[in-house]
């Protein structure tokens, strides 16, 4: 049995986080603990987490820092540093997890590999209905479900496909559906906190894992994540973040200077 930590990033959307936590409680295989990586939410989120802690089937921890802008990489580093699990599964607070989400990640975990999964996009109307009614059973036949192929669940078939197809993608990394061994994250010094604002933090981390010799698990048809609709984040930082990303590629970096080591 792998000792695992499920890390869920959130920021000031407790209604979505509630649905995400409810989906954790429905998991066929539970993680050893759940850590909420909170990028500065107000007390409403803290109160929601406290209410769940009283009934949650595994330890539910809350890692918070002050809101001084979008610092997703930093709060994930703090949560991963505090994690007790040997294997870290990463999701977001606007993700509804398929009942086999955790089980799929743990079953696919292997040495010298990391996982970057995909997501099913839910439209605005369906997302509002889920949040209002807490209905977590999502049909791929619903008209408001996008990326329907990402919702197909057939992990045994995925393992057959992987014999012939290796996953090498860089720019399809989704931080809302990733997992890795904690020791590997520490070896590359976690997320690069020089990346500020939205964009490229997950891709830059993945490139350093690749540069260290890691491989990426083929993870279609498993680890299904349903993404609740929200407006796009401010992308004004993307150009500066791309410069950091390109430097990591050009210099074949395996480790960043400003990362998780500050919290360990």
- pLDDT, average across residues 196-214: 93
For the chain, give the percent of residues with pLDDT over 70.
Answer: 98
- Global pTM reads 0.96
pLDDT value for 170 = 64
The pLDDT tens digits for 109-158 are 999 999 999 999 999 999 999 999 999 999 999 999 999 999 999 999 99
Rounded CA-CA distance 35/182 in Å is 14
pLDDT value for 199 = 84
Beta bridge partners, 120, equal 226
- CB of 65 closer than 8 Å to CB of 76: no
Q: Please give the domain boundaries of the chain with CATH numbers for all domains.
A: 4-190+213-232 (3.90.550.10)
pLDDT-derived band at 259, boundaries 50, 70, 90: very high
Is the model's pLDDT at 264 over the cut of 90? Answer: yes
Rounded CA-CA distance 63/81 in Å is 10
The pLDDT tens digits for 66-84 are 999 999 999 999 999 999 9
């Amino acid at each position: 049995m792998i000792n695992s930590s499920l890390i869920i990033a959130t920021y000031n959307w407790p209604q979505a986080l509630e649905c995400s936590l409810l989906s954790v409680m429905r998991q066929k295989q539970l993680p050893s603990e759940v850590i909420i990586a909170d990028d500065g939410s107000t007390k409403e989120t803290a109160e929601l987490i406290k209410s769940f802690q009283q009934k949650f089937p595994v330890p539910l921890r809350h890692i918070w820092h002050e809101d001084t802008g979008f610092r997703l990489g930093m709060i994930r580093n703090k949560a991963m540093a505090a994690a007790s699990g040997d294997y870290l599964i990463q999701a977001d607070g606007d993700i509804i997890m398929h009942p086999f989400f955790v089980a799929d990640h743990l079953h696919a975990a292997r040495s010298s590999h990391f996982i970057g999964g995909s997501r099913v996009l839910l439209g605005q109307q369906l997302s509002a209905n889920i949040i209002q009614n807490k209905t977590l059973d999502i049909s791929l036949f619903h008209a408001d479900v996008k990326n329907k192929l990402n919702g197909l669940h057939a992990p045994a078939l995925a393992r057959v496909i992987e014999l012939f197809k290796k996953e090498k993608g860089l720019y399809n990394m989704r931080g809302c559906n990733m997992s890795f061994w904690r020791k590997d994250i520490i070896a590359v010094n976690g997320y690069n906190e020089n990346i500020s604002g939205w964009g490229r933090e997950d891709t830059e981390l993945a490139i350093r894992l690749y540069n260290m010799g890691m491989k990426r698990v083929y993870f279609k048809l498993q680890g299904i994540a349903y993404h609740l609709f929200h407006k796009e984040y401010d992308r004004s930082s993307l150009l500066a973040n791309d410069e950091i990303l390109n430097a990591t590629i050009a210099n074949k970096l395996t480790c960043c200077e400003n990362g998780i080591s500050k919290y360990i």
